[in-house]
Amino acid sequence: MKVYLDNAATTPLAPEVMQEMFAVMQDKFGNPSSIHSYGREVRAMIEQSRKTIAGLFNVTPGEIIFTSGATEANNMVLRCSVRDLGVKHIISSPIEHHAVEHTLHEMENEGQVNVHWLNVDRHGCIDLNELEKLLAANENVLVSLMHANNEIGTLHPINEIGNLCRKHNAIFHSDTVQTVAHYKLNLKEIPVDFITCSAHKFHGPKGIGFLYTNNRLHLKPMITGGSQERNMRGGTENVYGIAGMTKALQLAYQQLEKEQGQISALRSYMINRLKKDFPDVEFNTDIHNESLYTVLNVSFPACDFAEMFLFNLDIQGIAASGGSACSSGSSTGSHVLNAIGADASRPAVRFSFSRYNTIEEVDYVMEKLKEMYAVKA
Ligand code: PLP
């Protein structure tokens, strides 16, 4: 049996998305910047996609910029805010994805901006009082806090954070890669200035995402050399990617509640089986409070095969991860697990679920985990 439980790293393409992309590949090859009918047809498709996506988030089409994914979109917010909006201080957390964390370290080292790293607790939660004190003490601030953490599933309270930012006149950026298509995000109600999205996290294609940029703020392009994306990003558009991402988002939001219920139930089932079969297990995900329902990060009992843990699962056909997407396949060096003080002697595994996972798959994983401990311990 093959079981894919690494959906926070990437997801399989939905068949409906594949079909949509095939249709566009077959019929629409024009360059959207061309003025003839081939180009105009593709331009119209891109603008319709932008409109559809804007509608799903209750924003205007002009606030959606297509990018190569979330790494680019996060870079654009951080680098261009300092360059174009006079940002002098960035407040962030040590559990951000490398797309934010590494970028901030680089900008800090180059002396472009002061970065203030918030403290986090055992489950990655920040202290809003600490955030407010920093907001009160500094001017020209951008706050960059992800909505949900990709390794342990911590949900930062984006409404409260956004309200504090508005109160102190700070800009608010949230990396929403793990929550777009998994939660309803009405951006008319959430006080946020920038969010980022990556289609391959919700059964869309790789290499496409978007940046939502609130139209009260005006960034200049990070990638120059063309007037695409309303002068916000040079380069011929990823037409097939845009079509696939739009379809994937529509699908996800059509069946959001059903999927939320189904995936949450699957995760609860696994939590209960783990508690029963491994009484000594520790959950790095906060299972007692609301957390991202697609992610379950577990520290298993210490054992002499910790280094080989993911490899052993892989031999049994089970794909899981020991760190973030970028360090998939490795169980060492997670900056997130370090930040929350997870017990390093225990092998930590992230299981992450999608609409395509089943109870039978979880049963299979539990059997193989028990066998691993019975044979090797
Ligand atoms: N932010 C988070 C929270 C992620 O999980 C990922 C992917 O691992 C990214 C950013 C990067 O996204 P992309 O693969 O589109 O560059």
Summarize pLDDT for 13-40 with one digit per residue, the tens: 999 999 999 999 999 999 999 999 999 9
Residues (pLDDT < 50) of the chain are 324-331
CATH of domain 15-254: 3.40.640.10
Determine the 3-state secondary structure of 143 from DSSP: strand
Cα 119 to ligand 1 centroid, rounded to whole Å: 22
The torsion angles phi and psi of 49, rounded to 5 degrees, stand at -60, -45
Q: Is the CB of 73 under 6 A from ligand 1?
A: no
Domain boundaries, the chain: 3-12+255-376, 15-254
Pairing of strands 141-144, 89-92: parallel
Q: Which residue's CA is the closest to the ligand 1 atom numbered 8?
A: 325
Q: Is the CB of 24 under 6 A from ligand 1?
A: no
Q: How far is the C-alpha of 218 from the C-alpha of 343, rounded, in Å?
A: 44
- Intra-chain end-to-end CA distance of the chain, in Å: 24
Q: How far is the C-alpha of 314 from the C-alpha of 221, rounded, in Å?
A: 42
User: Which CATH topology does 3-12+255-376 take?
Assistant: Aspartate Aminotransferase, domain 1 (3.90.1150)
Q: Is the CB of 205 under 6 A from ligand 1?
A: no
pLDDT in tens, 35-65: 999 999 999 999 999 999 999 999 999 999 9
Pairing of strands 318-319, 3-4: parallel
Q: Is the CB of 209 under 6 A from ligand 1?
A: yes
Q: How far is the C-alpha of 145 from the C-alpha of 190, rounded, in Å?
A: 14
Of residues 125, 197, 303, 326, which has the active-site annotation? Answer: 326
**What's the pLDDT at 332?**
53
> Are 150 and 295 contacting, i.e. CB atoms less than 8 angstroms apart?
yes
Q: CA nearest 147: which of 124, 179, 123? A: 179
CA quadruple 361, 363, 364, 369: dihedral positive or negative?
positive
Active site residue 326: yes
Q: How far is the C-alpha of 68 from the C-alpha of 62, rounded, in Å?
A: 18
Burial class of residue 203, CB neighbours in 10 A (0-12, 13-18, 19+): buried
Specify the ligand 1 atom closest to the Cα of 325. Answer: 8
Edge-to-edge strand order for the sheet containing 282-283? 282-283, 295-299, 348-352
**What's the pLDDT at 326?**
34
DSSP-assigned states of every residue in 172-195: EEEE-TTTBTTB---TTTS--SEE
Q: How far is the C-alpha of 147 from the C-alpha of 162, rounded, in Å?
A: 11
**What's the pLDDT at 333?**
81
Q: How far is the C-alpha of 48 from the C-alpha of 153, rounded, in Å?
A: 33
Does this model's pTM top 0.85? My answer is yes
Determine the 3-state secondary structure of 297 from DSSP: strand
Q: Is the CB of 259 under 6 A from ligand 1?
A: no
